[in-house]
């Protein structure tokens, strides 16, 4: 019942920005919001992400360690350049789940995997 903004060719890719309850999809079309009938759309298969080449190598290590630093940052990776996800204070005990080749330890931190520098831990 609405006016046409134009047409799409078979196999032309469009970006869907919304869906109505009656199977019409909102798309961006020539800088405007348009709608197409979902019966004529086919979702593009989602490709798997490329394997990461810089994955952190972790060897087996376990045990409970004590923090010796006044504040020890917990990082998302095994270097100080990784983002901080939290911190521990002197005397905190942590369970180690692995060790990286550069002396960082993998721990579970508030339901996430975190890394701390091994130079601030003792058994």
The alpha helices in the chain, defined as continuous H runs, are none
> What's the pLDDT tens digit per position in 55-101?
678 899 999 999 999 999 999 999 999 999 999 999 999 999 999 99
Where does the pLDDT of residue 104 fall: very low under 50, low under 70, confident under 90, or very high at 90 and above?
Answer: very high
Q: By C-alpha distance, which of 37, 40, 8, 41 is closest to 24?
A: 37
Which structural domains are found in the chain, ordered by start?
9-45 (2.30.30.40), 58-122 (2.30.30.40)
């Amino acid at each position: 019942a609405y006016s046409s903004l134009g047409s799409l060719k078979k196999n032309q890719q469009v970006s869907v920005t919304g869906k109505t309850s009656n199977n019409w999809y909102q798309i961006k079309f020539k800088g405007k919001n348009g709608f197409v009938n979902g019966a004529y759309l086919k979702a593009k298969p989602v490709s798997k992400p490329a394997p990461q080449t810089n994955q952190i190598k972790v060897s087996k290590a376990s045990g409970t360690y004590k923090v010796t630093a006044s504040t020890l940052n917990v990082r998302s990776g095994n270097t100080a350049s990784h983002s901080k996800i939290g911190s521990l204070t002197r005397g905190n005990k942590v369970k180690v789940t692995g060790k990286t080749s550069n002396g960082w330890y993998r721990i579970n931190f508030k339901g996430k995997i975190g890394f701390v520098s091994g130079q601030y831990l003792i058994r």
